[in-house]
Amino acid sequence: MKTLKAILVLITASAFALMPFFVADFSGFKSDQLPFPQIDPPIQPAGYAFSIWGLIYLWLLLSAVYGLIKRVDDDTWDRTRLPLIISLGIGAAWLPVALSSAEWATALIIVMLAGALIALLRAPSQDRWWLQAPIAIYAGWLTAASLVSIAILGAGYGIGTSVTWAYISLTCTLALAIYIQTQKPSAPEYGLTIIWALVAIIIANAGSNLGIQIYAGFGILLLIGLKSRSSLPA
């Protein structure tokens, strides 16, 4: 069973990494996907930030290969496999869904996030750079992306303004990030990925939405302070 799960992690990671080559570029939900089109929503990070997906795809793929070859019978690795299979398997189908349905894409990315966070919390400190770190970056970006998707969907259905949803999204992102980083202080890559997203939100709002920039900046300082505190000797 462990071998089968290790193989499935490799298969789903490969499918996840290859899907962008077969699907048209996704740069946000199209205007006709929501009752109230969201054009440049304030919660959307600057475009360059999405380049992190290249690192995520490659690192998860290398982790899957290493796990199959070197850690196939390792119990600590095996605990992460089922949630990873679920998350990556859904992730492989996410792009086509996102191009046709904002609602289903939002629901699926939340499930992806849940699987990634479970895998991260189960990941051992052993082989940190082969397992924990790639999962941490993946989970960190999904944390930000999930809340961005929820915010765009909420504003897109006219339930509050895009600015209101930006504040809600940032608050929920920070709350979840603080909880996960507190539970998993050995995975600073998770918090650093959240910071990456927050910096991109600040840049995206340059010249407008000063309040959101300040709030995102506060979040960055909060996460840096949390990391510094966790690094202090007991």
Q: Provide the 3-class DSSP secondary structure of residue 149.
A: helix
Q: What is the pLDDT of residues 143-181, one digit of tens each?
A: 999 999 999 999 999 998 999 999 999 999 999 999 999
Residue 230: pLDDT band with limits 50, 70, 90: low
The confidence score (pLDDT) of residue 234 equals: 37
Q: Is the pLDDT of residue 122 over 80?
A: yes
83-109 tens-digit pLDDT: 999 999 999 999 999 988 999 999 999
Whether 87 contacts 8, CB under 8 Å: no
Alpha-carbon distance of 139 to 114, in angstroms, equals: 9
Backbone angles phi, psi at 121, to 5 degrees: -65, -25
Q: Which pair of tokens denotes residue 17?
A: 């990494």
Q: To 10 degrees, what angle do helices 133-156 and 75-98 make?
A: 30
Q: Is 232 left (phi over 0), alpha (psi -120 to 50) or beta?
A: beta
Give pLDDT, residue 227. 73
Give the predicted TM-score (pTM) of the model: 0.94
Query: Is 28 a residue whose pLDDT tops 60?
Result: yes
Tell me the three state secondary structure of residue 102. Answer: helix
Q: What percent of the chain has pLDDT over 70?
A: 95
The answer to whether the CB of 89 falls within 8 A of the CB of 12 is: yes
Does pLDDT of 135 surpass 60?
A: yes
pLDDT of residue 228: 65
Q: How far apart are CA 144 and CA 175, in angstroms?
A: 11
Q: What is the pLDDT of residue 110?
A: 97
| Residue 223, pLDDT above cutoff 90 | yes
pLDDT value of residue 233: 42
Q: Contact, 227 vs 191, CB < 8 A?
A: yes
Query: Can you tell me the mean pLDDT for 114-126?
Result: 95
